[in-house]
Structure 1
Amino acid sequence: MRFEQPLWLWLLLVAVALVVAYVIAQRRRSAYAVRFATLPMLEKVAPRRPGWRRHAPALAFLAAIVVLTVAIARPVTDVQVPRERATVVVAMDVSNSMASTDVAPNRFEVAKEAATEFVNNLPEQFNVGLVSFARTATVVSPPSTNHQAAVDAIGNLQMADSTAIGEAVLTSLQAIQSLDAQAANDPPPARIVLLSDGANTSGSPIDEGAQAASQAGVPVSTIAYGTPDGTIDLEGRTIPVPADTESLQGLAEATSGSFYSAESDEELRDVYSDLQSSIGWTTEEREITNLVAGIALAAALLAGLASLLWFSRLP
């Protein structure tokens, strides 16, 4: 938190002075009471003492002064606000390694379900597209506000040979740039969310895709999906299919995106949920003077109410 007019914070010294004055007054009051009568007589005159309630209104009033002083200084803090618009391209690996059953029932079915939830939870005004990649990369659903088109496309995905991660990034960028051309005056911010469970074995190198995304200012958030011990059976052979976490992490870091690793159904859904929050919201500085002033008013009202209820007078 910072303050637009921090010089007003010097008024907090007034609150400190009030605390000192209150403590001195209470001590003098106790001293006068002892001088007035003996202790047995005091117990008969005032057998019930208010205890902590005697100080509660004063403390609430002091809190009101402190908070009001903070409000006068015009506090500014970072707050999460929903984005008004954005373009998100979901790039999904559909290589044969997605048939691995290390994630039950298999990686492919879980990935489709999680991606569907992700798309459905994005703000309606966002443009959402889908790119699938195996030996090549294809724009299955161009970015648009028709989220159902992307959901339907996810449900119709089919597996194929090889993994072209670099091509997936380049193809996603083309889909984004094609949409931006239609809104050349003010294109929305864009993000690529890429899931892969293998290594780049086809098409352009990952570095080429990372460089293009970096130059375009489009972050690529990557998800390394599957366990290190995942395997598939191919022509009677058992082939290990671990995700290339190092390359996917490098792609995310090179484009200012985020890297995630998911080895289960629950972890993958958590990743997409976190991505949905980070993409759907942005952090902005907002002045919160009204909020702080409202808290000060509430504290002052509480002080007055407590004093009236307990002592039939205002503090």
Structure 2
Amino acid sequence: MQFLWPQFLWLLLALPVLVGLYVLLLRRKKKMAVRYASLSLIKEAMGAGQQVRRHIPPVLFLLSIAALLLAAARPVAVVTLPSNQQTIILAMDVSGSMRATDVQPNRLVAAQNAAKAFLQELPRHVKVGIVAFAGSAQVAQLPTVNREDLVTAIDRFQLQRATATGNAIVISLATIFPDAGIELESLQAGRNRARGMSLDTERKPQKEFTPQAPGSYPSAAIIMLTDGQRTTGVDPLEAAKMAADRGVRVYTVGVGTVDGETIGFEGWSMRVRLDEETLKSIANKTSAEYFYAGTAQDLKKVYETLSSKLTVEKKETEISALFAMVAAALAVLSAGLSLVWFNRIL
């Protein structure tokens, strides 16, 4: 714990002085009592319990003063508070490799079930959007608080070929910032033009913005789940830089086999491999985290962890009000006990 005004802590040195004054007052009362009666008779009349009681209200009042002085020094501590996160984009891989059964019953169904459980854990005020991606990326559901619409969108996933992880990040950013002029077509046009390819479309300039510190945008985050490596589309690290410059965290979740395996379907086969290195780089670049889920249970735990991370956050917060509240409670308790026991305040 730190203090914004530590110079006020010197006032705590007054507490021993107050204790000394209290002791002097007690001795003075004892001397006055001896003038009129035997001290032993007074102690016997008061009893041991009464002797202890008489000190409790002053001690509580002294603690109240100490709490007030600490509050005046403006203490600051790291505390866990409800997050300001208002929008979460789930970018989910629907490429053909998601039909693999190494995650039971298969990768896609396990991802769908985990995503639905994740929605149930989130506070109702948090908006969630769905982006589905394979060879391309599209918004399956605009951000909404309607959980039924989100579940319907998840249930409608259709498997497709190829994997464009970079496109998923760009479309997610465009969904979070609809007025920022983020266009996937413009980015792809720029890449192709740099390679010397002729295009019919003109690249539209993005709106001016000031780059932010990675992870500094508190109102939205992206969770990207994929089981393969990028085969087409925008470079995912380029897309991750776009997210980092806007302060948006991109949490990445890898599902399936790290070493890779061959998956066949309807006469065709393909080799799929989880590109953990790129997923970790995306998460690191945006000040987020990477999670690996090798089983359906692992995937469920990942979403539970993400739910807790995105709904609460640790912040350095001034807690002067807390100390002031404790001081007030101690002062009231001190006065109340004094009235009940001795019919006077202190």
SS in 2 for 1:160: coil
CA distance change for structure 1 residues 274 and 31 in 2, over 3 Å: closer, same or farther? Answer: farther
Taking every aligned residue pair, what percent have the same amino acid on both sides? 37
The whole-number CA distance in structure 1 between the counterparts of 2:226 and 2:15 is 59
Query: Any residues of structure 2 matched to 1:14-163 within 5 Å, and which?
Result: 14-20=14-20, 48-49=48-49, 53=53, 55-77=55-77, 80-83=81-84, 86-122=86-122, 126-144=126-144, 147-163=147-163
The whole-number CA distance in structure 1 between the counterparts of 2:166 and 2:289 is 17
Question: What TM-score do the two structures reach when normalised by structure 2?
Answer: 0.69
CA distance change for structure 1 residues 232 and 149 in 2, over 3 Å: closer, same or farther? Answer: farther
Partner deviation per Cα, 1:226-275 (whole Å, 9 max, x = no partner): 46588676369999966332221111111222222334445433433443
SS in 1 for 2:329: helix
Question: What TM-score do the two structures reach when normalised by structure 1?
Answer: 0.74
The whole-number CA distance in structure 2 between the counterparts of 1:38 and 1:67 is 36
Which deviates further from its counterpart, 14-23 or 297-306? 14-23
Partner deviation per Cα, 1:70-97 (whole Å, 9 max, x = no partner): 22334455552442x7443211112343
RMSD: 4.4
Match of 2:285 in 1: 254
**Count of matched residue positions in the alignment of Structure 1 and Structure 2:** 311
Q: In structure 1, give the amino acid aligned to 2:117.
A: E
Partner deviation per Cα, 1:151-210 (whole Å, 9 max, x = no partner): 31111113333432223223323333435569x999994422101223333433332322
Q: In structure 1, give the amino acid aligned to 2:58.
A: A
Q: In structure 2, give the amino acid aligned to 1:261.
A: Y
The whole-number CA distance in structure 2 between the counterparts of 1:24 and 1:97 is 83
The whole-number CA distance in structure 2 between the counterparts of 1:118 and 1:255 is 22
SS in 2 for 1:178: coil
Match of 2:236 in 1: 206
SS in 2 for 1:208: helix
Match of 1:268 in 2: 299
Q: In structure 1, give the amino acid aligned to 2:287.
A: S
- Partner residue of 2:324 out of 288, 293, 299: 293
Contact residue 304 and residue 314 of structure 1 kept, 8 A: yes
CA distance change for structure 1 residues 106 and 296 in 2, over 3 Å: closer, same or farther? Answer: same
The whole-number CA distance in structure 2 between the counterparts of 1:190 and 1:234 is 38
Partner deviation per Cα, 1:97-120 (whole Å, 9 max, x = no partner): 333444433332221122223345
